[in-house]
Chains A and B, each alone.
Chain A
Amino acid sequence: MASGNREPFNNTVVEWIDSRMPIFTLLNKEYGVFPVPRNFNYFWNFGAIAGFMLVVMIATGLFLAMHYSADTGLAFNSVERIMRDVNGGWLIRYIHMNGASFFFIAVYIHIFRGMYYGSYKKPRELLWILGALIFLLMMATAFLGYVLPWGQMSLWGATVITGFFTAIPFIGEDIQVWLLGGFAVSNPTLTRFFALHFLLPFVIFAVVFLHIWALHICGSNNPLGIEPKTRQDTLPFHPYYTIKDSFGLLVFVLVYCVFIFYMPDALGHPDNYIQANPMVTPPHIVPEWYFLPFYAILRAITFNMNLYFLLGLVMLLLLLVDFVWRKKPVYLSAAGGLALLVVGGLLVLTGFTGDSCQRIDAQWLEANVGFKNMCGTLQALPGMSAEAAPISAKLGGVLAMFGSVAMLFVLPWLDTHPVRSARYRPLYRVFFLLLVVVFLILGYVGSQPADASVAGVPLILVGLLGTGYYFAYFLVILPLLGRFEKAKPLPESIHDVVLAKQINAETKI
């Protein structure tokens, strides 16, 4: 292919190989002279760091697999044998265990960096989707891996998560039994989870390859969000970014090592040092920290979506499509839109309140007769009962959780603003940073018991509001910003900005 117009290498061995299979030419093209925007900040290190973590996880995982027994009778003790009897086993296991957390830290920063600087926008949509796919595969792999030590959280986490599938109408229970290979999380489950946990990292590896391929077709985005125009805007990948990435990686590994060697169990849950026991449920089941925001979204939906609610929701969605997503409404006039807003809003409110009435404390209702009467009226409406709701609270939660990950896949088409970087989009910047804060708050909500409250505010409400903002950010705020936000003027070129900064720095000195 590329062997036609390659330049010969001085080293005879390299040249011998390269003339037969131009792998060195390829490496030099993609990682040697490959032009990269010269203005990356340190947030651009996290792609390389995530790649490094994948390699670390595969390497340590391979050696752990050589000592691990995927049998419910042996699994827990085989992990403890690794910790106690296998030479250096404790180190390998702690690297792997904390590696999952640090892989997610790297990937979360990588994702938020991509969102802040608009790296998902044309022409990088496919690159972004491949990244979202990696994230999804990572979540699956991490979940499967957490089951393997066969502690209490392994068993009950797996029970809860495979329980999601029972929310599917009609066939849910059968699907769950099929997934588990039994009627509860048991030996067949553990064995297949081990096999899949071993396989998926290699699938991730393959998708990472595609991700990098796509990246090298369109080139990297950069903090300014404008494309490089001339040679002056870029630098060769080597040595500039090989060295910068190495430095960033070392700092990251330093923090990682502090956890491995000085607080190896800080990110885990004590209950997972208790052997799995199907007869005893831990009082408070929590997933690993990196799933907490999504877990909060799952638990935020505590109401059944009855016919009234869904009908109203469809109306509001119609409104969203016609008035928010389109530049000009096609189906609706302004008056029609207003009518739909009022009717849809009322229906959603009716459905939601009617369903919530079933859970309101009876004593409180007695004391508030007005509410009692309203609830009576609402619940008398046909189809208001929980059984008649097409989407139960459980299914609603599962849909919301998967929907929240799905948002990432469609993000390139929801954010229609032509400017990429948040540096030039003052409004977008505020809403995005708020999203990050909301995401962290959701993480906190997910870590707490479902009925907890902070300073008198029930966390269930915080979770619902956070979930609302999360979806509003993607479905409403981004399309609106795309139409109405006025961006700051963009610089002429990357080189101009870099030069101006250098001059600025020199005059300061």
Chain B
Amino acid sequence: MNATRFARLLALCALIGLAPLAVSTPSRASGGEEKPQDVQWSFDGPTGTYDRAALQRGYKIYREVCVSCHSMNLIYYRNLEALGYNEAQIKNIAGEYTYMDGPDDEGEMFERPGMPSDRFKAPFANAKQAAAANNGAIPPDLSLIAKARAGGPDYIFSLLTGYEEHAPHGHVLQNGQHWNRYMSGNVISMAPPLADGQVTYEDGTPQTLEQYARDISHFLMWAADPYMEQRKQTGLKVIIFLIVFAGIMYALKKKTWKDAH
């Protein structure tokens, strides 16, 4: 009898725990956009991990394509260690960029090469400049984009592969606007950023739009959640500990309550 009661309670806890999930999932504004595709990722599931090669390819796409408009202000070059680069490689990558520093002893600003402790070099000096260079639409910072959009990497992948050359009949696009099946409201200011063969892969991975979209989404997920692997590994240990602890406590409870007559 106790067991069934306990099972009932567990079910109730689960229900209460999950109810907010169902409730809090925001229903998108009623535009014509589609739900993001369900993409399979190596980091899915409770034991999923990032794929180092995919991360490096994704970073290559960011460096060569996205960076012309999008900043990643929360990421430092030193963070690239997590992608599998060594110290010398990171130094080289950072050194390719020029940073304004100072003032020096004479009060002058000066330029110096980037260092691992620098944040990713942003394409624009400030938001106003970014807006002016992009017809008034500020390209969002990508550091947290995988967390800041419902659907995360699935959404990014879908968006990047969801462009239509022409708007469906009856829709008129302004100059500088594009039609995307997954963008909220379908109209997006970003031109299709990726195309087959645009970025050269050295590891023989197919150079297709779909592969590019997968890799950049993978990389952006890492950027938004760099401790995911550590989090899941710690979680496993904590949960095993708690299950054993709860088991001991349950046995102790049974034993103690047996003589509660």
Q: Using CB atoms and an 8 Å cutoff, list the residues of chain A in contact with chain B.
A: 38, 41-43, 77, 80, 83-84, 90-91, 94, 101, 105, 108-109, 235, 239-240, 243-244, 246-247, 250-255, 257-262, 264-267, 269-271, 273-275, 283-284, 286, 289-290, 292, 440, 443-444, 447-449, 452, 501, 505, 508
Query: Which residues of A are found within 8 Å of B226, using beta-carbon distances?
Result: 84
Distance of A260 Cα from B19 Cα, bound (Å): 17
| CB–CB B149/A270 < 8 A | yes
Pick from A43, A244, A273, A448: contact of B253, CB below 8 A.
Answer: A244
Q: Which residues of A contact B132 (CB under 8 A)?
A: none
Q: Which of B4-12, B91-99, B168-176 contacts A (4 or more CB under 8 A)?
A: B4-12
B21 interface hit (Cβ, 8 Å): yes
Contacts of B149 in A (CB 8 A): 270
How far does the Cβ of B162 sit from chain A's closest Cβ, in whole Å?
18
Q: Across the interface, which residues of B come within 8 angstroms of A444, CB to CB?
A: 22-23
Contact between B253 and A77 (Cβ–Cβ < 8 Å)?
A: no
Can you list 13 A-B contacts (CB < 8 A)?
A: A84-B226, A235-B260, A243-B252, A251-B13, A254-B243, A255-B14, A264-B231, A270-B147, A273-B147, A274-B140, A274-B148, A292-B23, A447-B25
B interface with A by C-beta (< 8 Å):
1, 5-6, 9-10, 13-14, 16-17, 19-29, 46, 74, 79, 140-141, 143-144, 147-150, 184, 224, 226-227, 231-232, 234-236, 238-239, 242-243, 245-246, 249-250, 252-253, 256-257, 260
Bound: A443/B25 CA distance, A: 12
- Provide the residues of chain A in CB contact with B1, threshold 8 Å: 501, 505, 508
| Cβ–Cβ < 8 Å partners of B147 in chain A | 265, 270, 273
Chain A at the B interface: mostly helix, strand, loop or mixed? Answer: helix
CA A218 to CA B147, docked complex, whole Å: 49
Least Cβ distance of B260 to chain A in Å?
6
Partner pick for A91 among B5, B26, B231, B252, CB 8 A cutoff:
B231
B-chain residues with CB within 8 Å of residue A84 when the two chains form the complex: 74, 79, 226-227
Which secondary structure characterizes the binding site on chain B? helix
Q: How far is B234's CA from A12's CA once the two chains are assembled, in angstroms?
A: 42
| Bound-state Cα–Cα, A89 to B46, Å | 21
Residues in A whose Cβ lies below 8 Å from that of B19: 440, 443
Chain B residue at minimal CB-CB distance from A280: B138
Q: In the assembled complex, how far is the CB of residue A198 from the closest CB belonging to chain B, in whole angstroms? A: 26
Q: Which of A77, A109, A254, A443 contacts B23 (CB 8 A)?
A: A443
